[in-house]
Amino acid sequence: MNSLQVVGIDLGTTYSLAAYVENGRAMVVRDTHGVALIPSCISFHEDGTVLVGSAAKARALLDPEHTIFSIKRLMGRNLADLKKELELIPHQIVERETADGRKVLHVNIAGREYTPEELSAMILKEVRRRAGNPSKAVITVPAYFDDSQRQATRDAGRIAGLDVLRIVNEPTAAALAYGLDRRGQGIIAVYDLGGGTFDCSILSLSEGVFKVLATHGDTYLGGDDFDRLLMKAVAADMGVDLSHKDPELLQHLRDAAERTKIALSLAENAELKVEIPTRALHYTRTFSRSEFEQMIQPLIERSLERCQSALRDAQLTPSQVDEVVLVGGSTRIPYVRRRVGEFFGKTPHTELNPDEVVALGAAIQADILTSGRRDMLLLDVVPLSLGIETLGGVVDKIIHRNSTVPARGVTRYTTAVDNQTAILLNIYQGERELTKDCRFLGTLKLAGIPPMPAQFPQVDVTFLVNHDGILTVTAKEQRSGAEAQVTIQPAHGLTREEIEKLVEQSIEYAQQDFTARRLIELRNKAEADIRHTHKGLAEAGDQLTPQQRDAIVTAEEELRAAIRSDDLSALQQAIDRFAQVTNPLATIIMNEVIKKRLSGIAERELKPENI
Ligand code: ADP
Ligand code: MG
């Protein structure tokens, strides 16, 4: 074990663990008691010691101010993303600006500020220590994690001294652990019910390559909720009010509730016992499995609705799913297994421990990457479209949502004004057509373009999303060779709810957006037509008859009025009319020089933003 060089790590919201491959077999790292799961908890003590794992979990409610849990929820997020989380976190969370202008969260604990990356690194360090300090790792993240959340996870690994070989999606890792890649092809549903979160992912497998087709979930649905339901029942029984802060009682209740819940996964009845001798508190109640099932039924129902949504996104029905994989400690509950089996109409895979499969799959992926045995690709998709702002506040998508990573997209642009020597590209993420409805990710400045007339420069903008889902944008002006590149470190991440909302909105507003976009495009075209006509008139206006010139003036007035209106068809007509009356002028100026000039024209004009 001490010679382990590479491991797979499941960095979970409630539990984390590592696994490795030995003699071709994946195995989890266990302590001397055979325990693999390390609670993702950290506690800070007055003497400066920091504990990670079960010792820290034991203090979570007793000394909440010095205990950290669920830090995964803060990874790659900003304050605005965290409205819901903040009320559940007993610590002060602040946002600080870095030297390069990014916003970074800090958690104030035990008189010091830590970033979520540093705190996750403490958990990773403990996981790593137990595995005998390997130097390399594959770390898993939920499929819905965005760029900045993946980046933050990678950073946490680095802080923990790990060379992070790859960030892999949890459902993909689970499918790998079951060796489903050997099937060659098929559709796999991964149902992951953990401590605090739920998600369902639909994967497709083709020629041994996995692709995430869709993922849906609920970031507030998991085993903790089941514990809370039991706690509530008991509190009602005891006549205590849980909202009154009584950390000691809460701690005991929660531990007892979790034990009872786990016992009910094996037995038909289980006792819930709370003993606090110092308070002369002795409480016992027996819960039956069916009683417990009734309590959690609405929550399981909700999870199945999310499965339905994921299937709908993937345009599949339950019967088209070939394999169902259960992930997460809460899928040990027999009722969950039964309901999921009924929903998909087939028996789910449960041969491996559901709270270990993700780590096992990560270990297999790590082994593949380091041994070079098989060149297996794990393909994932870009969750939201990526693009840049073009003239008029329109987002031109360069990589579309659900493109398989690594994904690459190139589009050629040009400038709208003369002598533009620098271009500022604004990069956006989202499904809507206009920048105001998408999320701003960052900018890229391309400088050093020699002065040229408008429409002369040819700027190739390349977007590349790598295996980890990280975006690099390159801009190159082809005539001069001027080039600039940026790796996007989004100022903050998106919540999954936001992603889902953005996707829903894009469907809901598709028609309206289309009209808005078309209007902007036509306005741009009309303005460019007017500009070009003025240029033409200055060059060759004297070769027109007075009637031809008058007709242009009148048509221009009509066109300007149409630009100001919101009437799409009136604008289209005015543009056509303007083209008609300027036709004689266009014919005159279509000499060889102009033709030559036109040969280099790229079709899309960038927002004229000189810097
Ligand atoms: P994570 O949320 O970090 O992915 P896990 O997948 O390890 O965490 O799931 C942890 C949850 O599983 C906890 O709520 C725990 O109480 C629950 N759990 C573990 N074992 C059982 C069991 N036998 N029966 C019911 N719930 C269980
Ligand atoms: Mg998990």
pLDDT digits (tens, 9 = 90+) for 478-487: 888 888 888 7
**Nearest 5 degrees, angle CA 528-CA 530-CA 532?**
65
Instruction: Give the pLDDT band of residue 488 (cuts 50, 70, 90).
Output: confident
Q: Which ligand is nearest to the CA of 38?
A: 1
Q: In the chain, what are the domains? A: 6-223+294-379 (3.30.420.40), 386-494 (2.60.34.10), 511-599 (1.20.1270.10)
Whether the pLDDT of residue 493 is over 50: the answer is no
User: Would residue 194 be called left, alpha or beta, if left means φ above 0 and alpha means ψ between -120 and 50 degrees?
Assistant: beta
- pLDDT surpassing 80 at residue 491: no
Q: Would the pLDDT of 538 be above 90?
A: no
Residue among 262, 266, 300 whose CB has most ligand 1 atoms within 8 A, to mutate? 262
Cβ pair 121, 159 in contact under 8 A: yes
Contact assessment for residue 114 and residue 106, using Cβ atoms and an 8 Å cutoff: yes
Q: Name, of 59-68, 169-178, 380-389, the range with top average pLDDT.
A: 169-178
Query: Which uninterrupted H or E stretch holds 581?
Result: helix 568-589
User: What is the CB < 6 Å shell around ligand 1?
Assistant: 12-15, 37, 194-197, 222-224, 258, 261-262, 265, 328-330, 332-333, 355
pLDDT class for 374, splitting at 50, 70, 90? low
Planar angle of CA 82, 90, 125, nearest 5 degrees: 80
| pLDDT exceeds cutoff 70 at 104 | yes
Among 25-39, 225-239, 295-309, 584-598, which is the least confidently predicted range?
Answer: 584-598
Nearest CA to ligand 1 atom 23: 262
79/320: higher pLDDT: 320
pLDDT tens-digit map of 299-310: 999 999 999 999
| Mutate-to-test residue for ligand 1 from 11, 14, 139, 219, highest number of ligand atoms within 8 A of CB | 14
Q: Which residues pair with 165 in a beta bridge?
A: none
Bridge partners, residue 141, by sequence: 169
232, 278, 283 from 239: Cα distances, Å: 10, 19, 12
Cα of 354 to ligand 1 centre, how many Å?
9
**So what's the pLDDT on residue 63?**
83
- By the 8 A CB rule, do 144 and 499 touch? yes
- Expressed in angstroms and rounded, the spacing between residue 320 Cα and the centre of ligand 2 is 25
Residue 502 above 80 pLDDT?
Answer: no
- Cα–Cα distance between 207 and 186 in angstroms, integer? 9
Please tell me which residue, 532 or 602, carries the higher pLDDT value.
532
Task: Report the separation in Å between the CA atom of 158 and the middle of ligand 1, taken as the mean of its atom positions.
Answer: 27
Task: Give the residue, 85 or 447, on which the prediction is more confident.
Answer: 447
Please state, for a pLDDT cut of 90, what percent of the chain lies above it: 44
Predicted local distance difference test score (pLDDT) of residue 247: 78
Q: Which residues are placed with Cβ below 5 angstroms of ligand 2, an ion?
A: 12, 194
Strands laid side by side in the 41-44 sheet: 50-52, 41-44, 67-69
Q: What percent of the chain has pLDDT over 70?
A: 88
Give the model's pLDDT for residue 403.
73
Taking a C-beta distance cutoff of 8 angstroms, is the pair 578, 526 a contact? yes
Long-range contacts of 597-603 (CB under 8 A, 24+ apart): 597/453, 597/456, 600/455, 600/456, 600/458, 600/479, 601/414, 601/455, 602/412, 602/413, 602/414, 602/455, 602/458, 602/459, 603/412, 603/414
Quote helix, strand, coil % in the chain, to nearest 5. Answer: 40, 30, 30
Higher pLDDT, 338 or 431: 338
Question: What Å distances lie between residue 396 and 48, 195, 611, CA to CA?
Answer: 52, 40, 21
> What pLDDT digit, counting tens, does each position of 351-368 carry?
999 999 999 999 999 998
Following CA atoms 215, 220, 225, 226 in sequence, which dihedral angle do they give, to the nearest 10 degrees?
0
pLDDT-derived band at 242, boundaries 50, 70, 90: confident
Looking at residue 380, its pLDDT comes to: 59
53 C-alpha to center of ligand 1: Å?
15
> 586 CB contacts (<8 Å, ≥6 apart)?
536
Q: What is the pLDDT of residue 504?
A: 65
Interatomic CA distance for residues 444 and 196, integer angstroms = 38
pLDDT at 294: 98
For ligand 1, atom 8: residue with the closest CA: 194
Ligand 1 atom closest to Cα of residue 197: 2
Atom of ligand 1 nearest to the CA of 14: 3
Both tokens assigned to 577: 């009319």
Quick one: pLDDT at residue 266? 96
Residue nearest (by alpha carbon) to ligand 1 atom 20: 329
pLDDT of 594 > 60? The answer is no
Query: Is the entire prediction scored with pTM above 0.75?
Result: no
* Chain segment 264-300, per-residue pLDDT in tens: 999 999 999 998 888 888 999 999 999 999 999 999 9
Confidence of residue 603 (pLDDT cuts 50, 70, 90): very low
Task: Please identify every residue annotated as catalytic.
Answer: 10, 72, 170, 192
Q: Which atom of ligand 1 is nearest to the CA of 265?
A: 24
- The larger pLDDT score, comparing residue 498 to residue 122, is at 122
Q: How would residue 602 be classed by pLDDT, with cut points 50, 70 and 90?
A: very low
pLDDT in tens, 148-159: 788 889 889 988
Give per-residue pLDDT as tens, 4-33. 789 999 999 999 999 999 988 999 999 988
CB 350 within 8 A of CB 328: no
Rounded mean pLDDT of 401-424? 83
Mean pLDDT of the chain: 86
Confidence at 319, pLDDT banded by 50, 70, 90: very high
Distance CA 113, CA 100 (A): 19
Q: How many residues does the chain have?
A: 611
pLDDT score of 592 more than 50: no
3-state secondary structure of 380: strand
What mean pLDDT comes out for the span 223-246? 88
**What pLDDT was estimated at residue 402?**
66
Q: Is the pLDDT of residue 320 over 90?
A: yes
Ligand 1 nearest-atom number relative to CA 222: 14
Q: Which residue has the least CA distance to atom 11 on ligand 1?
A: 195
The 8 Å CB, 24+ separation contacts for 20-26 are: 20/131, 20/134, 20/363, 20/366, 20/367, 21/363, 21/364, 21/366, 21/367, 26/177, 26/360, 26/361, 26/363, 26/364, 26/367
Structure tokens at 477: 């002006």
Tokens found for residue 519: 């209007």
Type of residue numbered 415: T
pLDDT at 509: 65
Q: Band of the pLDDT at 346, cuts 50, 70, 90?
A: very high
